[in-house]
Structure 1
Amino acid sequence: MQWHQVLAFVAAVTPLTLLPGTSFTLVTQQVIAGSRADGVRAALGSVCGLLVHATFAAVGLSALVMSSAQALTVVKVAGGVYLVWLGVTTWRSTHRGAEPATRRRRPRLPWSRLGGFGQGLFSNVLNPKAASVYLTLVPQFLTTDHAIAPQIAVLSLAHIAVALVWLLFWSSVVAAARTVIDTPRFRRGMSRVAGAVLIGLGIRTATAR
């Protein structure tokens, strides 16, 4: 795998990582309810959850390519179509009215009584959005010229680095501010960036030779 492929993956996954989601919300909640250390533990648990998804993807995609090299092409095309659809729906969601944060009620999760690390781990392992990164985005950067598992390992380490840097930075910001900066404008802006990236990746896959 070439460095330019890794950098391209980092450029693609970064806006998706910055998009407020489960890990972002959990780290924010942990810092506000406890301390920055609690947020750090939640961040570490979240990136360990990414390792679980990467392992499953490495085993599944490696077996798929071993059975048929053309199968990876099918996975890429299907993933590209899905990425376009996901990008369009993500972009369209920015035009919907956002419910005020003070009125939102978050369901109590089964692992809510665990420590920050355990909450971060289980919330990400059971997060379908995190799984979709390895089922739709990662295959776009794989080649059949080399073993699949090492390529996924490199991409997952890059993803983990981006996620960990962002979550640690965010935990410091929240600890310093002690207020929730997750405003509707911020969410809309990040959703639009993520939607544009997803659509671009889907089109790239559809037009690639």
Structure 2
Amino acid sequence: MQWHQVLGFVAAVTPLTLIPGTSFTLVTQQVIAGSRSDGVRAAFGSACGLLVHAAFAAIGLSAVVMSSAQALTVVKLLGGIYLIWLGVTTWRSTRRDADRGADRDADRDVGKSAERTVRGRWRLPWTQLGGFSQGLWSNVLNPKAASVHLTLVPQFLTAGRPVAPQIATLAVAHVVVVLVWLLFWTSVVAAARPTIGTPRFRRGMCRLAGAVLIALGIRTAIAS
């Protein structure tokens, strides 16, 4: 594979990456509701989801899925249901955050700070991977992410050479493009938090992100 092929693929995939979608929405929600590190984890999770599709494409699994109407329908439904569920939980998290704020105020009044410390100490270790897991599964269950490797990638492959190494090269290029964009956007949102990070704004943005995720899930589930 020549460098001009890789550069051509980057030029083709960059506009698709810049279009706001699931990963963009997840990163925004994670930074606003949590912190910059949460957005970074979501960005890397999304990138790893692309690597999963690249691996599937390399072994032919994605081709089987995309060529079977029944299998593609299942993937679309799973992806749509997951995004809808994620949107609903994102929306509901605003109420939980408000409840936790009220609980903290009540705890201070009755002197229960020590009990809260113990509860935080026993928090499950994998809860810190929430953003990563959401980013990962949102792309793994996204048929459009798979279609990139089945419609766009083949145009940049060299005939007569092993396919897997070429797909791996293009997948790395795709991941770099996605990470550069998502990490840049993470920094932008994180830098704006001191200005826009009021509780009311955060609740509004989380609700907006939840609504967008639900809309993306419906679109994914019913897309032909």
Describe the SS at the equivalent of 1:55: helix
Contact 1:47 1:163 in 2 (8 A): yes
Partner of 2:116: none
Report the CA distance between 1:146 and its aligned residue. 0.7
Residue 129 of structure 1 deviates from its aligned partner by 1.4
Tell me the CA shift for residue 132 of structure 1.
1.1
Greater Rg by CA = 2
Secondary structure of the corresponding residue to residue 20 of structure 1: coil
Identity %: 76
How far the C-alpha of 1:161 sits from its partner, in A, is 0.4
Match of 2:219 in 1: none
TM-score (norm 1): 0.61
- Does 1:137 find its partner at 2:152? yes
* Cα distance per residue 1:140-187 (max 9 Å; x no partner): 11122210000000000000000011100000001112357xxxxxxx
CA contact (8 A) 1:111 1:118 kept: no
Confirm whether residue 2 of structure 1 aligns to residue 13 of structure 2. Answer: no
- Alpha-carbon RMSD across the aligned residues, in angstroms, is 2.6
Q: Aligned-pair distance for 1:54? A: 0.0
Q: What do the CA deviations read for 1:34-65 (whole angstroms, capped 9, x no partner)?
A: 0110000000110000010000001118x99x
> Whole-Å Cα distance in 1 between the matches of residues 144 and 33 of structure 2?
25
Measured after TM superposition, the shift of residue 111 of structure 1 is 8.7
- Residue in structure 1 matched with residue 84 of structure 2 by the alignment: 107
Distance in 2 of aligned mates of 1:111 and 1:45: 18
Q: Which runs of 4+ in 1 moved over 6 A?
A: 110-114
What is the rounded CA distance, in whole Å, between the counterparts of 1:147 and 1:50 in structure 2? Answer: 20
1:150 aligns with 2:159: no
SS of residue in 1 equivalent to 2:20: coil
* Alignment partner, residue 162 of structure 1: 177
Higher helix share: 2
Instruction: Give structure 1 stretches of 5+ with no counterpart.
Output: 65-74, 76-105, 181-209
Q: How far apart are 1:135 and its partner, in Å?
A: 1.2
Counterpart code for 2:9: F
- Aligned residue for 2:85, secondary structure, equals coil
1:128: Cα distance to partner? Answer: 1.3
